[in-house]
Amino acid sequence: MSNQTSATEKNLDAIVVGAGFSGLYMLKRLRDELGLDARVYETGSGVGGAWYWNRYPGARCDSESFYYCYSFDEALWQEWEWSSKYPEQEEIRSYLDHVADRFDLKKDIQFNTRVVSAHFDEVNNLWHVEMENGEKVSAPFFISAAGVLSSANVPDFKGLDSFKGDWYHTGNWPHEKVDFTGKRVGLIGTGSSGMQSTPVIAAEADHLTVFQRTANFSTPARNAPYTPERRKEIKATYMETWDKAHASHGGFPYEPTQATTTEYSDEQIQKALDGVWAEGGFKFLWGSFSDLMVSKDANKYAADYIRDKIRGTVNDPKTAELLCPTDHPYGAKRPPIDTDYFETFNLENVSLVDVKKSPIVEVTPNGIRTEDGEYELDIIVFATGFDAMTGTLLNIDIQGRGGETLEHKWEAGPKTYLGLQVAGFPNMFTITGPGSPSVLSNMPVSIEQHVEWISDCIESMRDKGQKVIEADPAAEEAWVAHVNEVAEMTLFWEANSWYLGANIPGKPRIFMPYAAGLPAYRQKCNEVAENNYEGFRLSA
């Protein structure tokens, strides 16, 4: 592929942002299968993406290890040994490091490099990309593998600068161990990161105060080391695992459940919920009843069940009630899975503060002041989430045709065609972008599907002598409408979640992921490709 650039600009075939699950596989496909001169730019000093940054105590994956990984290479899958059901952050980071070394990817990844701008040049059909250090590169293709949960959200609390202690965000955690011994720790946020870190910090700290704005549903992880027998069983069922994962709504290798609560008696429903509760993890959400996310009545069975479990676990009835979610359906916010989260509130050194009732007013030099009073702290942990799905892309100055900025284009919420492309931004692809199943699925499965679709598309363009692919605005509008229509059939609208951008003040309230499930989405993407990339404009 031929490019035209200025003398100081390095000339490539494809520029990829981010060296997590998406970026590594994208690089491998473009370089090793298409023979392109592709390069990955990564802010961190190592591979891993979300698993490079989220080093907070207790950070662990919520999908099981043997299917929270790549499926594209059976030998890789067979040789890697996971220690336990739910891998810790460091184990996943090591796995990705192993992948990068095994396929010799690091030589084409530039670490410690933040992409700050990407402008499309309509005359030469090139993306001109600039780094924070002033370095410039260009390529016909610009691919975001920047991740969907990578822009940490630190709330704009008055007085944070005045705090005399240390503060950390879970998504931007130091590489060195943070020692909580003898410290009074305040933790804000009760999403996955807050729920995972609470028991671990409580075990070390002198006192832990959890500041809760919204009580959250969670199911027990039931994590355990893999036994030799389980390992053997996993290794023997590679094809079965991936066939099931690809066939399932969320990319999990469970038998897809077709059962709805309406077909069963109350006793039968309780028994089924007992079963998935005992198994632990996401089985409760994805493996129990297929109507949980579309019927309020069905959802109430699951929500009541979890509330009963919380009441049965937490000794102090007032604390238990405060920990019971009552303002949103189960699953409408991304539900964490936990290890001893609710049990932790039975410890003497742990207390819970309701910051919905009495909001945080400011951070003071000595701690946190709510409307009720001041809590003296040595360390504050912000487990306050991310500007999800769009934040990282919008932090880059991206300009498409006619200098239109992505920020302007997405002013009223993200618009994409299939979550893969944005009209007006030719040859730019987004891996697991808004409008694709993304965060509603087991991410590596979605990532592989996107990476393969994008590289097949680029290969097809090369074979046909096509230089530019761009989403048709009408196809994009229709897709956005369809994504909304599907979301409206679900209960996802019933919570102020990051799926809707509701956690970021001022962010438009739009449901961002595609909720119809992976098989339907995969079929649509395949049909589009088979029909000459229907809905895209391709030109020579």
| Residue 207 identity | H
Residue with smaller CB distance to ligand NA7, 191 or 391: 191
> What secondary structure letter does DSSP report for 179?
P
Distances (CA, A) of 462 to 144, 420, 457, 458: 20, 19, 9, 6
CA–CA dist 18, 172 (Å, integer): 15
149 binds ligand NA7 (CB under 6 A): yes
**Is the CB of residue 384 less than 8 Å from the CB of residue 143?**
no
**Which one of 44, 155, 165, 519 is in contact with ligand NA7 (CB under 6 A)?**
155
Decide: is 392 part of the binding site for ligand NA7 (CB under 6 A). no
Residue 299 in contact with ligand NA7, rule: CB under 6 A:
no
Of the residues 213, 307, 415, 450, which one makes contact with ligand NA7 according to CB under 6 A: 213
If one asks whether residue 191 binds ligand NA7 (CB under 6 A), the answer comes out as: yes
| Strand-pair partners of 429 | 143
- Separation between Cα atoms, residue 330 and residue 302, nearest integer Å: 7
Contacting residue, 39, 184, 249, 334, with ligand NA7 by CB under 6 A: 334
360 makes contact with ligand NA7 (CB under 6 A): yes
What is the rounded CA–CA span in Å between residue 290 and residue 125? 46
- Shortest distance, position 265 Cβ to ligand NA7, whole Å: 34
Nearest residue to 344 via CA among 185, 141, 138: 185
Q: H-helix or E-strand containing 210?
A: strand 207-212
Single-letter amino acid, residue 265 = S
**Which candidate, 113, 88, 136, places its Cα nearest to that of 23?**
113
Interaction of residue 434 with ligand NA7, rule CB under 6 A: no
H or E segment and range at residue 477:
helix 473-488
Cβ burial, residue 102 (10 Å; 0-12/13-18/19+): middle
Q: Does 193 bind ligand NA7 (CB under 6 A)?
A: yes
Is 282 a binding residue for ligand NA7 by CB under 6 A? The answer is no
Nearest distance in Å: CB 539, ligand NA7:
38
Helix axes 21-28, 89-102, angle to 10 degrees: 10
Question: Interacting stretch for ligand NA7, rule CB under 6 A, among 9-17, 234-242, 378-386, 518-526?
Answer: 378-386
Per DSSP bridges, beta strands 136-139 and 126-131 are antiparallel
Provide, rounded to whole angstroms, the least separation between the CB of residue 439 and ligand NA7. 6
**Which residues between 9 and 48 bind ligand NA7 (CB under 6 A)?**
none
Q: Based on the shown chain and the rule CB under 6 A, indicate whether residue 170 belongs to the binding site for ligand NA7.
A: yes
C-beta separation of 193 from 383 below 8 A: yes
Given 49, 140, 147, 189, the residue binding ligand NA7 (CB under 6 A): 189
- Indicate the residue whose CB is closest to ligand NA7: 191
Q: Could you say whether residue 194 binds ligand NA7 (CB under 6 A)?
A: yes
Stretch that binds ligand NA7, among 81-89, 126-134, 192-200, 224-232 (CB under 6 A): 192-200
Q: Which of 12, 19, 245, 355 binds ligand NA7 (CB under 6 A)?
A: 355
CB of 499 to ligand NA7, least distance (A): 9
| Contact pick of 65, 150, 190, 421 for ligand NA7 (by CB under 6 A) | 190
Distance in angstroms (rounded) separating the CA atoms of residues 20 and 108: 14
- Stretch of residues binding ligand NA7 (CB under 6 A), selected from 185-193, 251-259, 480-488, 515-523: 185-193
Q: Give the footprint of ligand NA7 on this chain (CB under 6 A).
A: 149, 155, 170, 188-194, 213-214, 334, 355, 360, 383-386, 498, 503
